């Protein structure tokens, strides 16, 4: 695959300082000028001011200038205006207004994390010791940015921008609702969802394992239980464990682990998911606020007033 990762996202919020403090507590490292880094991925989140919360921009990593050339040709065939530099190309997705940049960037190299030893029937992999997950005391720090989810009023147009324009692949489809798209070996890096207004639904951050998902969420909820949105559970699309929290601007943020990986595109067959199966395999049912965020009406009113 010419593309190899979601490099970064820029989110706009009306309350920059409060939101920035949240993501520092979430485990991201402040880098100045609104940037935050992960342990393995470098600078991957930027927070800027915006009248309403939104996904402002995303960056996608490519291997070399030839990849940039291919994207330029794709966008030209779609009639999408783009700005090209020697090592990057930028275009705006016309439905959501998200500014997407494909840039030559190094691949993320992650040191292997030792597999957690689990005991089971007839299988004793850990004896004479407590599980490592209950002995950890260090705060959870995400390894990398995994994906972002955006609402769009025209799924077909937004999906075509990412697939036919930028070169993303389709991993799975939620019938009549959206599509999981990847620009790496991860099951998805962007999910486009049908919505009455364009908005940022959530960003998702990789941690080592399910214990880190739980520990990270527990720490975030200890002093502010109102941050809880949905979890713990396991998705069907992507198979990952998840726990969702809400930042002060109203965006959701997800800790995840154990995501499906697609190393050979020929061996992966996209599935069309229907109903709850498109959301989760097990766990508590999603709250209404996850499917329809509480500020959706206000976002719609704001969009109309700007239009």
Domain spans of the chain? 3-107+139-306
Q: Are strands 199-206 and 144-152 parallel, antiparallel or unpaired?
A: antiparallel
Q: Is the predicted pLDDT of residue 247 greater than 70, yes or no?
A: yes
Q: Is the predicted pLDDT of residue 122 greater than 70, yes or no?
A: yes
Q: In this predicted model, what pLDDT tens digit does every residue of 134-190 receive, in sequence order?
A: 999 999 999 999 999 999 999 999 999 999 999 999 999 999 999 999 999 999 999
Query: Regarding predicted confidence, which is higher, 65 or 1?
Result: 65
CB contact at 8 A, 279 and 222? no
Q: Is the predicted pLDDT of residue 283 greater than 50, yes or no?
A: yes
Q: Is the predicted pLDDT of residue 237 greater than 70, yes or no?
A: yes
Residues of the chain with pLDDT > 70, as a percent, come to 98
Confidence at residue 278, expressed as pLDDT on a 0 to 100 scale: 73
CB contact at 8 A, 189 and 4? no
Confidence at residue 303, expressed as pLDDT on a 0 to 100 scale: 61
Q: Is the predicted pLDDT of residue 66 greater than 60, yes or no?
A: yes
Stated as kind and residue range, the H or E segment containing 16 is: helix 16-26
Q: Is the predicted pLDDT of residue 202 greater than 60, yes or no?
A: yes
Average pLDDT over the chain, rounded to whole? Answer: 95
Helix, strand and coil percent figures for the chain, each rounded to 5: 25, 35, 40
For 130, counting Cβ atoms within 10 Å of its Cβ (0-12 exposed, 13-18 middle, 19+ buried), the class is exposed
Q: In this predicted model, what pLDDT tens digit does every residue of 189-200 receive, in sequence order?
A: 999 999 999 999
pTM for this model (two decimals): 0.96
**Mean predicted confidence (pLDDT) in 254-277:** 92
Confidence at residue 269, expressed as pLDDT on a 0 to 100 scale: 95
Query: Regarding predicted confidence, which is higher, 279 or 69?
Result: 69
Helical axes 210-222 vs 16-26, angle rounded to 10° = 140
Supply 94's token pair. Answer: 């016309």
CB contact at 8 A, 209 and 254? no
Lateral strand order in the sheet of 42-49: 29-32, 35-38, 42-49, 3-13, 54-62, 99-104, 88-92, 82-84
Does the domain made of 3-107+139-306 have the CATH classification 3.10.180.10? yes
- Per-residue pLDDT band at 215 (split at 50, 70, 90): very high
Confidence at residue 306, expressed as pLDDT on a 0 to 100 scale: 46
C-alpha to C-alpha distance for 165 and 80, rounded to whole angstroms: 8
Q: In this predicted model, what pLDDT tens digit does every residue of 95-116 receive, in sequence order?
A: 999 999 999 999 999 999 888 8
| CA terminus-to-terminus distance, the chain | 38
The DSSP code for 49 is E
Q: Where are the beta strands (DSSP E) in 50-189?
A: 54-62, 82-84, 88-92, 99-104, 144-152, 169-174, 178-182
Q: Is the predicted pLDDT of residue 1 greater than 70, yes or no?
A: no
């Amino acid at each position: 695959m010419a593309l190899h990762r979601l490099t970064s996202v820029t989110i706009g919020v009306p309350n920059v300082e409060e939101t920035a403090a949240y993501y520092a507590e979430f485990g991201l490292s402040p880098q100045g000028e609104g940037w935050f880094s992960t342990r393995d991925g470098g600078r991957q989140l930027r927070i800027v001011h915006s009248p309403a919360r939104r996904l402002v921009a995303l960056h996608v990593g490519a291997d070399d200038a030839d990849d940039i050339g291919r994207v330029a040709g794709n966008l030209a065939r779609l009639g999408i205006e783009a700005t090209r530099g020697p090592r990057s190309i930028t275009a705006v997705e016309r439905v959501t207004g998200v500014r997407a940049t494909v840039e030559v960037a190094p691949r993320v190299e992650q040191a292997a994390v030792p597999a957690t030893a689990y005991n089971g029937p007839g299988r004793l992999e850990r004896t004479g010791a407590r599980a490592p997950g209950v002995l950890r005391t260090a705060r959870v720090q995400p390894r990398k940015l995994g994906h972002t989810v955006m609402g769009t009023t025209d799924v077909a147009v937004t999906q075509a921008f990412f697939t036919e324009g930028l070169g993303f692949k389709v991993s799975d489809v939620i019938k009549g609702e959206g599509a999981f798209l990847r620009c790496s070996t991860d099951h998805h890096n962007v999910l486009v969802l049908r919505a009455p207004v364009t908005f940022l639904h959530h960003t998702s951050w990789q941690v080592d394992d399910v214990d880190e998902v739980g520990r990270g969420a527990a720490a975030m909820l200890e002093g502010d239980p109102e941050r809880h949105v949905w979890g713990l559970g396991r998705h069907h699309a992507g198979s990952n464990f998840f726990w969702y929290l809400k930042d002060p601007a109203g965006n959701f943020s997800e800790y995840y682990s154990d995501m499906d990986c697609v190393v050979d595109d020929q061996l992966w067959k996209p599935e069309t998911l229907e109903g709850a199966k498109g959301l989760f395999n097990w766990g508590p049912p999603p709250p209404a606020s996850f499917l329809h965020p509480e500020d959706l009406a206000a976002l719609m009113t704001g969009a109309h007033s700007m239009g």
